[in-house]
A and B are shown apart, each in its own frame.
Chain A
Amino acid sequence: MVSDTLLHLLRDNYLIARLRGKRSKLLERQQLIALSEAKSQTEIIGLLAEGPYGPELSKLGAESSTIETERAVRLGFADSVMGLIRASQGDTHDFLVQYRERFDAYSLAGLVVFKAQGKTWEEYLTTRLPLSLMKEQELHRLYSLDDLSTIARQGGDRHLVGRLKGFSMTDIEGEKASLVRDVINGWGEERLYKYMDKKLSGLDRGNCLPIAGSAIDIANLTIIVRSKIIGASGVKDHLIPSHWKLNQRAIDQLLTAADATQALDAVASHEYYGRILSGARQKYEESESLSFIEVALRRYQLDLSRRIFLGFPYSVGIMLAFLILKENEARNLAAVLAGVSAGLPTDDLRSLLVRE
């Protein structure tokens, strides 16, 4: 542990100082609220011209679509991540590349869902996450395949093939599409979790594992609840075998729940996730959607990231914490831009913002 800390102090202090400087420039809630009061998307782009999103947003024309604007924001986020990767060395570089690899799963999930919905390659391309390690050519090749299992094998690995057993391209729609997306995204989260669990130690591990661990647990919870909503069978096959605080006993309890609401009640009484997902059943019944789980996870990860920034600075945890905060900023900004563009009332827009 001491050697890891010394290594970060001697090797990564330039990067850590830059990150902390960048953190202070992240858009705060008040700034996002001020942006949400703008009259048009163009006004927001003008206000952000000097910031890190400026170069990408300034390329947009006056009549840009929401998808194009969202992509510009994501490119701004990707630039930050790529800048970090370029400035990093050794284990820290490997760690950031592993973080980036997570976006392969997002790209693959998007690809499968878009293809199942009969959308064109061009439509998919406009929404693709720019951080994916998979090249556009490779994704295009996968897009031309019709068999889900083949796509999973060639774009993922045998674990992903196993977890997607029982699904076929022809029946992925609605909640089932969301379930497939959850399974693929969960596979990506598990790869990052496994890397952290095996390769990191001491403070690095202690800081990073709760973030990646909660992601895989919540992914498993979402898969189980969504399966219950659509009445899917063989849920166990779709689950991530690794777990952090949601152990096998808790998973079995969720699996035996009669329906989604009973499963949500069970998780609300879980010793660890109870405080993060309190009132889960009520939230689900009010919104009839599971998006509140994702919001709860984001809030929890933001809280963990804030704590990492307050703690001892010399660990890779601070890099992960910054990336979580930055990713949240990008999502919030994309929501503000889309909301302003759609003419959403300011109060509604504010409720969409997820903050620390």
Chain B
Amino acid sequence: MVCTDLATCPTFWASLGAGLSVLLSAIGAGLGIGISGPAIAGAGVERPEVMLKTFIATILAEALAIYGLVVGLLSIFAIPGLTTIEGGTRIFAAGLTMGAASLGAGFGIGAAGSAMASATAEKPDIFSRAVISLILAEALAIYALVTALLLVFGAK
């Protein structure tokens, strides 16, 4: 499909959405890993036995980038079948939703993961409770993932 006007071009909006999804999710994941990583390392220096457990924060943060990549790839696969501007904007919205939510969740995972790691270093038995806030931060990205997938699959 050849577009003469970018503002009404479905391919343009869908490509922008796919790019935003991957980009913002990667930034979110980077924030999560970058903030929680040093705290995990610090906790590991003092208590090597808790280091493996506290790695969950970086794994959850990394998952954000994967969500963004999934939405981005599905968006790219959907581009050839797009015929209307509505379809293009749906994919753009899906990418923006996934990317922005990952950005927020990434910061949340970073801050909560950092606090969880340092609290676990002080009291290892607190881990199972401290990890709850981390999972709740991750859940924010999962809500966005579900919404984004529904938007992408409904795009025509």
Enumerate chain A interface residues (CB-CB to B < 8 A). Answer: 9-10, 13-25, 309, 313
Q: Evaluate contact between A24 and B123: CB separation under 8 angstroms.
A: yes
Interface string of B14-36 (1 = CB under 8 A from A): 00000000000000000000111
Of A17, A18, A24, A25, which is within 8 A of B114 by CB? A17
**A21-B45 contact in complex given A10-B35, A13-B35, A313-B118, C-beta closer than 8 Å:** yes
Enumerate chain B interface residues (CB-CB to A < 8 A). Answer: 34-36, 38-43, 45-47, 110-111, 114-115, 117-119, 121-123
Q: Evaluate contact between B115 and A313: CB separation under 8 angstroms.
A: yes
Minimum distance in angstroms from A54 CB to a CB of chain B: 16
Q: How many A-B residue pairs have CB under 8 A?
A: 64
Q: Evaluate contact between B43 and A17: CB separation under 8 angstroms.
A: yes
Closest 8 A/B residue pairs (Cβ): A21-B46, A17-B42, A21-B121, A14-B38, A17-B118, A20-B122, A14-B42, A13-B39
Of B38, B47, B122, which is within 8 A of A13 by CB? B38
The binding surface of chain B is classed by DSSP as helix
Please name 12 pairs of A and B residues whose Cβ atoms are closer than 8 Å in the assembled complex, sorted by A.
A9-B114, A13-B36, A14-B38, A16-B42, A17-B118, A20-B46, A20-B119, A20-B121, A20-B122, A21-B121, A24-B46, A25-B46
Q: Evaluate contact between A22 and B39: CB separation under 8 angstroms.
A: no
- Chain A residues positioned under 8 Å from B123 (CB to CB): 24
**A17-B39 contact in complex given A23-B122, A313-B115, C-beta closer than 8 Å:** yes
Measured CA separation A17–B118 after assembly (Å): 4
Q: Evaluate contact between B118 and A16: CB separation under 8 angstroms.
A: yes
Minimum distance in angstroms from B80 CB to a CB of chain A: 42
- Chain A residues positioned under 8 Å from B35 (CB to CB): 9-10, 13
Measured CA separation A15–B117 after assembly (Å): 12
Measured CA separation A18–B35 after assembly (Å): 15
